[in-house]
Structures are given as structure tokens and as C-alpha cells.
Structure 1
Amino acid sequence: MRRVLALAAAVLLAGCSHSSTDTRPPARAVVLVSGLASTAPYTAPDAACTIGLPAGTDHTALREHLLGKGYSVFTAPAMAGSGQVHDTTGYGAFASCPAPLPASRTIDSTGGIDLAGEHLARFIDWLHTEKHIDEVDLVGHSMGGLFARAAIRTLKAEQSAVRVRSLTTIGTPWQGSYLANFVEGGVKIGDCLGDPFCESQMTGYARDIAAVHVSGSARELGQSYLTGPKGWNTFQAGVLEAVPVTLIGGNRFDRPGGAPAVWPNDGVVELRSALGRDVDDTVLPHRRCRIVDDTHSDYVSMIAQLPRATALTWDPRVLDAVAEAIEGAATDLDGPARQGC
């Protein structure tokens, strides 16, 4: 009897030893992150909204493209305000979506960058617990790129089990937006050089920013908050040390001889900021840049009376560039510190 028990124990111990040395590759996923004042539903590779745009206006085309490439894609839920995501109507509408996640795992896209990052980090940890995801490639549109970087810092600080393989930012205001800088007085209407669309953005879109500029991510969209010795960027040094970053910027609007604080731009963010040209290498140690003659979003394309495919979030060239950034993440750390930047 003792021999039988000893044999059984040996078998169980062998089984435990085998499971502890599991050599299966880590489960990977792409997480799409929305920007300022955006509302986006939670979607999974096998679940999206069945009415309207399946993943919202900023993520639908990119989600479909990456799924077609064989990637496992999730969209992080985001709400223009606190709370769970609800169905939307009008522009970018979606409905009949997967069950919304709690507010604690939903980005408040009008709140502060760091708070948005904390909620995104909780969502990523939830993917690990519920979906068994071990590695993520983060893709952030507009301020979603800053939200993603804040999440990386939180994940590291909390020693999360999830590894961030790469970060791709699309039209992200690494150094602020010229529209927010106009609100703060750092950019003048005269910097538009008489361009009517630029002036309309400063007096229209910038006015909307000013309406919520007293707090949250709208206040943090300006150069004064993000740059300088005491700026938010400075305190992110080292966060991306092992994370390759691809920065994609649009230069649809340009005026020869215009101040680089405004020109060229995508209608919301100047190219210099989208490419992080003045961001120190301690903050962005491994970066490569891509420039496309696009607008910031399909909304900007719409008000500029341009086709939807001229938007960074819908242009097939950008969709391919994002896929290439994810695919090349394994070797990008071996390349030069600045490629095309």
C-alpha cells in the first residue's frame, strides 16, 4: 500500500513540475485606445456592436484591418465623462454592443491623463485575468497615446503580469496641440497666415477645448502642461525604456514658411508634436516616425469636406503602418534611437 501511495505522489509531483515549466508562448493582444472626449465601446475579437460602427468611429477600420491580419484585437472602453459606456446616436453611432465594463475599467476621456491611464491599466489587467492575455501592443489615437503611456507607467509600478510589447501613437499631441496652445495664448490667430480652415479651428474647435479647459485632459492638452523641466513628459523618463514606439503624424494642412508651432498640422495637432520632435530621448528612447498627408480624424475630414479615407484613423496606409509597427516590435529595440524622426 505504501508503494502505491508513493508512486501516486511521484506522479502528482511530476505533473506539478511539468505545469510550472510550461513553455507555451504568451498570449498576445492588440488594445486600441481612444482620445480626448471620445466614446468607444468595449469590443473583443469575437464581439462588437451590431448596429452602426462596430467599434466606434476611431477604431472600426483599424480593428477590422488588424483582425484581418490575424491579430487578437480589443478596444478599451472609453466614455466622454465618468461611468460606463452607453449606446450613442448621431455621428459615429453604435448600439447593441457587448456588455459594458465597470467605470473603474473604463477610460474617462475627459478626465486627467494619469487617471485615464490608471483605468486603462485596470482594463489591461482584466484582460489578463479574464482573457488570459500576457502581452499587449497598445495603439492610441490622439490623447489615447498619452493615456496608453500613463497606463504603462501604472502597470510597471504595480508589477503587472502583463508585458507591453509596443506602443503606436496616431496623431498624439506629445508636445500639446496648437489649438490648446491658442487657448493658453502661446499661439496667435495670426499664426494661421490667413488660412480660413486654420482660423475656423482656432475659433471653433479651440473654443470647445476652452469650455472644458479648467480641468481634466483638455487642460493637459497644452504645451505648458506637457513640456518643460517640470512638464508631464519629464516625469515619464524611463517608462518606455524597453518599449518600442512608433509615432504616426498627419500633415494634411500646411503653409510654406509657417511657424512649426502650427504648420504643418492634421487639423488638431501640429506635426512637430505628433512626432515628438522635442521630446527627450530619456522619455522616448526607441522611436520611429511615419508621416502621412492625413487629417486628425474622420470628423476633421468631414468638416474640411474631404473623403473619410483622408483621416489618420481610416487611411489604409496608416492601417498598414500600425500592423507593421506591431509586427516589427520584436526587433525595433535593436535599431537606431530615432528612425525617420
Structure 2
Amino acid sequence: MRTMIVDDEIPALKLLEKHVNAQEGLTLIYTTTIGEEVVEKVKELDIELLLLDINIGNVLGIELAEEINRINPTVNIVFVTAYSEYAVTAFEVNAIDYLLKPVTKNRFAKMIKKVGSRKEEKVEQQRPLIFDIFSEGQIFKNQHTLLELRTKKALELLFILWHFSDGGLNKEQLVEYLWPDQVKESSTMMLHTTIYQIRQVFKKNKLQNPIIYKQGRYILTYPVETPLNKLKGLLKEPITLHNIMKVLDIYKERYFAMSDYLWAEEYSQHFHQIVLEYLMKAIKQNCVDQSIMTRILYKFKEDLLLEEDYVEIVYYYYQQNNQHIRAMEFLKETDEYWRNELDIPYSHFIDRLTS
């Protein structure tokens, strides 16, 4: 395995050289004390194993690891440092291991075994995960296989990172969304534990690491397939009976409605209104048949009864299609809802429609 050592402390660098040269299967390609040249040398020399000090002069090893992960995620990165408090940060950038100085022969051998076991792992072709965002709020490996995560928070964390996929989220934002009532130290530990559990589940399922830590932010890098883009596309297409049926088939529930995620509420309400306006336009243009109208009323009845404009659209749809009895029944249902649920004892609006 083509190996490179980066450490600005000469004694530590020489000790690592000794371990590398004594280890069967490793070939020492390059050593340096200069952090600024690391990224270029990794690319130029086709490095497979990088032993990287956390601090190299004015350069942070964590930042170098982020850059190397971005350009070549197959490089095995192992951090070496005298400070144990960097351990959590090291694993955030998906390092394989973390060695404390001075590195002993036995500890070095254990690290190599760990690197070897990862190298032998066969990762499945990176097919997109399927995020069920308009129903139960679950994640599937394929159309029929559920990805079973250990906790509900692990599931929510993946959903959050997908929802905020434009640039990811920092640690403070994530713990505020996931554990708003916990103290900082406790919530931070739970975040690290949850990310570790997610990575272990993906590893067990022979899936690539889904979360990277880059420039202080957590980012979901695994490809995801959801019905959201398809639904957005349908809402922009011409209104036809076929397209309306597709919209209703996809939009089973509001966006993450079954999960009660507070961070999703604003977008859920916004998108629900977009779908509702589309369906009202379809009804107004008389593009729905009786079966579709029944489905719309079943799913959106309360929404329709809360808006006078919507009530009027539905009422005139029935009138225009010679369903006068059904039109009057709908107004009666509206009047009863307003009286019982909204405490509106009398409506001039309904009188106007029937006059």
C-alpha cells in the first residue's frame, strides 16, 4: 500500500517511518513536514494510505483531510497526534483511525489491520436511497427493502441533511433541530453517536459512507431519490386528468406529515398550498371527473371548507355538471362545519351562492 507520512515533528516522523518500513504490505513513498504540499503530493503520487498529523505548522490536518476526501475519497486517512481531544473531529471527516503519539508497534499493527479490513469490504453499487417523504417517513434501499436504522433520531438526521442539502448544516444547527431541550455537551455527544450509528448501518449494508464533515458542516453525500421533483414537474405540466391522478397518487400525505418534524413544517405548509392551488385550478377548469373529485374531497375537505373561494369553486363545479343536489349537500356540509368548528352561526356567503 503506497504510504505517505505528514508530521512537522521530526522524531515522530522518524518513528512512523520505522513502523511503515517494518510493516509487510506497506511501501513508503513520501514524507514531509510541510502541510501546504500534502494535497498535491497525494494526487501526484497516487497515495493509498496517509498518516497525517492533526497540526502541521499553520496548516490543520482536518482541513487537508476534507480536501483529500473531496478529490479522492478512496485514500485511507489515519490521524496522528498527541492530543486525544481531536479524536471526535477526526472521525467526523471519516478517518479510518486515530493514533496517539508516541505510536507503539502494537498500536500501529492494529491500525494496519483496520485499514486492511476496510480495503477488503465490497461496497455495493451506489444506487440512490429512496426517501418516503409523503407517507410514513421511511428510507428504503430499493423499492422493497427498508433501511433499518437504530433510532428515530438517526432517521431524522438523514432527512434533515437531505432537506437542507444546499451546503449542509453545522453542529450547532443540527443539535438545535434534533435535541433542542438538551444541554450542549449532552446533545453534541448524542449527535456524534448518531452519526457513528448511521455509518455503521451503512457499512453493514455494504453502502458507502453517507455523511461527510467539510468546512465545519455536515453534508449528506449519498444519492437520494424522492417523489418531490417528479411532483414538482407534474404541477408545472398542462392540467390533464392523467396528470391530476398522478399528483394524487404521489401526494399521499403532506411533506413529512406523519413524523411531525418541526424543521419541515414551513415547507410542508408552503408545498401543500401549491398542490391545493393546482387542484382548485383543475376543478375550476372542469378537468376532473367524479371519481377524482371524490378523491380530492376525501383528502382536502377541511382545506376546502376553510376558504370561501374554494367552497365557491367546488359548488359551481357541481352546478356546471348538473349535480345540483350534490352542490346543495356540499353547501350544507360547509354550513355545518362553519357552525360547529368555526363558531360561525350564519353566513351571508352561503346565502349569496344559493340566491
Q: Would you say same fold, with TM above 0.5?
A: no
- Tell me the TM-score normalised to structure 1 length: 0.23
Q: Which protein has the larger Cα radius of gyration, Structure 1 or Structure 2?
A: 2
RCO (CA 8 Å, sep 6+): is it higher in 1 or 2? Answer: 1
- Tell me the TM-score normalised to structure 2 length: 0.23
